[in-house]
């Protein structure tokens, strides 16, 4: 008890100090709600988002071989392999990507092969488009179970990020630099952003250009 | 005379009183003049049974031909219905399943008196892609459509009396504009009716009436999305 007393006193002191600081704070110092966006600001944001989506999304279009690792930071990472097919929707910047990527471990015993681990990208579809009303990029995921989720999406330079969960529990980041033959896709999980999945989407032949953007078919 | 009529009203739990104007026809033994009609509105609860939602989604799977018409209601624009032509190819995706539709729907263009674009005047569905899937959190159907300009139209909707009814802000149309859509597959899955109404400041500005006729057999059960 005697040992705990100084700690308790210190804690009370800090609490008191914090309370006094809060009480003395000028209410004008507390940030109020953000200023409402003016029509000019909204229009500028709309144009920027439209330009970003028109620049980045077409880089995703094409057929890819996919290789990577599930659980790269785990003690037993698993190899992931598969394919991805991203199609343009008409002449616009909208894109849909279908992944069919599996991972797991082949365990052999008594003549029977058992695959451990299950993929949530076998298949999974992602539809990307631009919401002009809210001036944001939108992504809808259809996962392996056929369950649909809306995923808030942002574009930052050459990186497209789309997240599942209000707190960004699952966040995909696709790094697609211009004229690159491959796209790096990483799935981060949780607040600490642990890498769950690291994929490299590679165009099958280096010289193959992206298909013409004329039709979704 | 007061006659009571019970109806199933969507989204309304109120009792509505409708006062009808007296008809000009003379009363005869076979017809009665009604002074008032009381209409009981009863809220129809959305269907939140996941299995029934999935069964409904399966009715969308397959290939379809589009017919129907589009009406544009704008000043100085001929209001004649425009004939619709098109097709849809909808595949089951995943286990539930979700549904992915590639659609290509067109109608003769119509412009405003000065050549300007008017809502519904030009099809942006040439082509477009739509995804539908079970929203496991809301026990609803989540959807997103991306048109040939990359514009995303999205949201979630509930099944009400076998219809998927959505009300959402119009996409890219200024003012207080709502887009009300209703998708109703027939029970045998041969025909899917779609109607979309664009209403701005309580005035209809465009309406789509699509009839999707199935080409081939009705899909049975879920089909995996398969490898690309």
B28 falls within a domain: yes
Cα dihedral B1, B4, B5, B10 sign: positive
Identify the residue with better confidence: A170 or A211.
Answer: A170
Do B97 and B37 fall within a single domain?
A: no
Using left for φ > 0, alpha for ψ between -120 and 50, and beta otherwise, residue B74 falls in: beta
Instruction: Give yes or no for a contact between A172 and A187, defined as CB atoms under 8 angstroms apart.
Output: yes
Do B24 and B119 fall within a single domain?
A: no
Closest approach of B186 to chain A, Cα-based (Å): 23
Q: Which residues on adjacent β-strands are paired with residue B212?
A: B66, B192
Do B31 and B135 fall within a single domain?
A: no
B13 falls within a domain: yes
Whole domain around residue B13: which residue ranges? Answer: 2-43
pLDDT band at A104 (very low <50, low <70, confident <90, very high): confident
Q: Tell whether A123 lies on the interface with B, counting CB pairs under 8 A.
A: yes
Q: Which of B55, B89, B94 to mutate to test the interface with A (most CBs of A within 10 A)?
A: B94
B221 falls within a domain: no
User: Who among B97, B151, B152 is closest to A146 (CB)?
Assistant: B97
Instruction: Give yes or no for a contact between A124 and A98, defined as CB atoms under 8 angstroms apart.
Output: yes
Closest approach of A120 to chain B, Cα-based (Å): 10
Closest approach of A16 to chain B, Cα-based (Å): 44
Tell me the CATH number at B113: 2.40.128.20
Question: Tell me: domain A39-202, CATH 2.60.40, correct?
Answer: no
Nearest alpha carbon to residue B100 among B218, B223, B183, B185: B223
Do B36 and B112 fall within a single domain?
A: no
Do B185 and B107 fall within a single domain?
A: yes
Do B57 and B24 fall within a single domain?
A: no
pLDDT digits (tens, 9 = 90+) for A145-180: 999 999 989 999 999 999 987 666 889 999 999 989
Can you give the C-alpha Rg of chain B in angstroms?
A: 20
Q: What angle do CA A108, A113, A114 make, to 5 degrees?
A: 100
pTM of the model as a whole: 0.78
The count of domains in chain B is 2
Q: What does the pLDDT read at residue B76?
A: 87
Q: What does the pLDDT read at residue B216?
A: 79
pLDDT band at A211 (very low <50, low <70, confident <90, very high): low
Domain boundaries, chain A: 39-202
Do B134 and B115 fall within a single domain?
A: yes
Q: What does the pLDDT read at residue A161?
A: 94
Instruction: Give yes or no for a contact between B82 and A131, defined as CB atoms under 8 angstroms apart.
Output: no
Residue A214, CA distances (Å) to A4, A61, A90 in order: 73, 12, 5
B160 falls within a domain: yes
Average pLDDT rounded to a whole number, residues B40-44: 76
B228 falls within a domain: no
Do B79 and B94 fall within a single domain?
A: yes
B175 falls within a domain: yes
For B37, which DSSP code? E
pLDDT band at A123 (very low <50, low <70, confident <90, very high): very high
Do B112 and B20 fall within a single domain?
A: no
DSSP codes joined into one string, A73-97: TSSS-EEEEEEEEEEE-TTSS-EEE
ipTM here: 0.80
pLDDT band at A63 (very low <50, low <70, confident <90, very high): very high
Query: How far is Cα A147 from Cα B72, in angstroms, rounded to an integer?
Result: 36
Q: What does the pLDDT read at residue A100?
A: 96
pLDDT band at A38 (very low <50, low <70, confident <90, very high): confident
Do B61 and B39 fall within a single domain?
A: no
Q: What does the pLDDT read at residue B144?
A: 96
């Amino acid at each position: 008890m005697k040992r705990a007393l100084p700690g308790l006193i210190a804690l009370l002191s800090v609490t008191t100090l914090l309370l006094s600081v809060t009480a003395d704070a000028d209410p004008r110092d507390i940030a109020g709600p953000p200023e409402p966006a003016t029509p000019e600001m909204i229009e500028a944001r709309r144009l920027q988002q439209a330009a970003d989506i028109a620049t980045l999304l077409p880089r995703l279009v094409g057929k890819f071989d996919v290789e990577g690792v599930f659980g790269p930071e785990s003690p037993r990472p698993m190899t992931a392999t598969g394919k991805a097919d991203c199609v343009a929707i008409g002449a616009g910047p909208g894109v849909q990507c279908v992944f069919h990527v599996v991972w797991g471990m082949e365990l052999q015993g008594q003549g029977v092969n058992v695959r451990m681990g299950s993929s949530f990208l076998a298949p999974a579809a992602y539809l990307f488009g631009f919401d002009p009303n809210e001036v944001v990029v939108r992504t809808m995921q259809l996962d392996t179970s056929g369950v649909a989720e809306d995923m808030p999406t942002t574009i930052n330079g050459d990186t497209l990020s789309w997240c599942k969960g209000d707190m960004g529990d699952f966040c995909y980041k696709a790094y697609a630099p211009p004229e690159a033959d491959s796209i790096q896709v990483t799935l981060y999980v949780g607040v600490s952003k642990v890498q769950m999945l690291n994929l490299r989407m590679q165009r099958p032949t280096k010289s193959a250009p992206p298909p013409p953007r004329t039709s979704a078919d | 005379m007061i006659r009571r009529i019970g109806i199933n009203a969507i989204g309304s739990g109120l009792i509505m009183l409708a006062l009808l104007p007296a008809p000009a026809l003379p009363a005869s033994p076979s017809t009665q003049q009604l002074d008032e009609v009381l209409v009981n509105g009863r809220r129809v609860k959305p269907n939140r049974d996941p299995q029934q939602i999935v069964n409904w989604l399966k009715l969308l799977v397959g290939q379809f031909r589009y017919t129907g018409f589009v009406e544009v209601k704008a000043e100085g624009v001929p209001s004649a219905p425009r004939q619709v032509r098109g097709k849809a190819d909808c595949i089951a995706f995943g286990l539930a399943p979700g549904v992915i539709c590639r659609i290509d729907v067109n109608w003769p263009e119509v412009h405003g008196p000065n050549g300007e674009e008017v809502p519904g005047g030009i099809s942006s569905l040439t082509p477009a892609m739509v995804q539908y899937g079970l929203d496991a959190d809301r026990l609803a159907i989540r959807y997103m459509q991306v048109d040939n300009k990359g514009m995303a139209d999205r949201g979630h909707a509930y099944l009400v009396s076998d219809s998927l009814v959505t009300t959402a802000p119009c996409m890219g149309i200024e003012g207080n504009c709502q887009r009300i859509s209703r998708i109703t597959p027939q029970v045998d899955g041969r025909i899917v009716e779609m109607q979309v109404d664009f209403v701005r400041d309580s005035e209809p500005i465009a309406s789509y009436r699509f009839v999707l006729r199935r080409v081939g057999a009705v899909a049975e059960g879920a089909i995996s999305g398969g490898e690309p």
